[in-house]
Chain A
Amino acid sequence: EVRLVESGGGLVQPGGSLRLSCSASGFTFRTSWMSWVRQVPGKGLEWVANMNDDGRERYYVDSVKGRFTISRDNAKNTLYLQMDSLRAEDTAVYYCGRDPKHGSIDYWGQGTQLTVSS
């Protein structure tokens, strides 16, 4: 059974940092593209970042470029999202997902809530 479990969310002050983790099981993580998508509760979905299997290709939405870094540890089957210089508008539920092809996420985690507030 495929499982994706996000962790690391919480309450952070503006300008602060946080690292999200996504632990994967039930599929071959090391050969999979992976993505982060966020959702403001009650609102729509926004693609944040994704990366290829070996980490050489990474893509970010403009609003997080230079502040967020996607990375992975294939030995630990874990995806990360390092978030720096956080802003109130980054407040959202963050989902990780397996991305088999062009953003078509076939498995999603349960999400982790990030709140940026003073």
Chain B
Amino acid sequence: DVVMTQSPLSLPVTLGQPASISCRSSQSLLSSDGNTYLTWFQQRPGRSPRRLIYEVSNRDSGVPGRFSGSGSDTDFTLEISRVEADDVGVYFCMQGTFWPHTFGQGTNLEIK
């Protein structure tokens, strides 16, 4: 199975400051169809996961512009330009190029 490794696992951030989460895969996520199936989810406390970013960098409708995704091959990043209180929660990356789809361990973002 493809192993997804996130860092850091805990991310204390001051309100208004940027935040960055890294996600590395154990093999390239470039699919034979030319797409890279790397998704970012946010899970607020007590809630179901919510998709933020799909195919590396496509932001879902309703997701604030301060969230952005980038990367390629085995190295991916989720960035929040200015953290707000509403951003508290756990962030997961997930690869969908290979079965079984696999998730990173999650990064717990909290406000300092």
Q: Across the interface, name the chain B residue whose C-beta is closest to A111.
A: B48
Which of B31, B49, B104, B105 is within 8 Å of A105, CB to CB? B49
Q: Chain A binding site: helix, strand, loop or mixed by DSSP?
A: loop
Number of A interface residues at 8 Å Cβ cutoff, please give it: 20
When chains A and B are docked, how far (Å) is the Cα of A46 from the Cα of B92?
11
Residues of chain A within 8 A of B50, CB atoms compared: 108
Name the residue on A nearest B53 (C-beta). A104
Give B46-90 as 1s and 0s: 1 = Cβ < 8 Å from A's Cβ atoms: 001111001100001000000000000000000000000000000
Question: In which size bucket is the chain B interface?
Answer: 20 to 34
Q: Does residue A27 face the partner (Cβ distance < 8 Å to B)?
A: no
Do residues B101 and A108 form an inter-chain contact, with CB atoms below 8 A?
Answer: no
Indicate if the CB atoms of A46 and B55 lie closer than 8 Å: no
For residue A98, give the distance in angstroms from its CB to the closest CB of chain B.
10
A110 within 8 A of B: yes
Do A104 and B37 have beta carbons less than 8 Å apart?
yes
Contact A109 B103, beta carbon cutoff 8 Å: no
| B7 CB–A CB distance under 8 Å | no
Q: Are B96 and A109 in contact (CB under 8 A)?
A: no
Chain B residues within 8 Å of A, Cβ to Cβ = 31, 35, 37, 39, 41, 48-51, 54-55, 60, 92, 94-97, 99-106
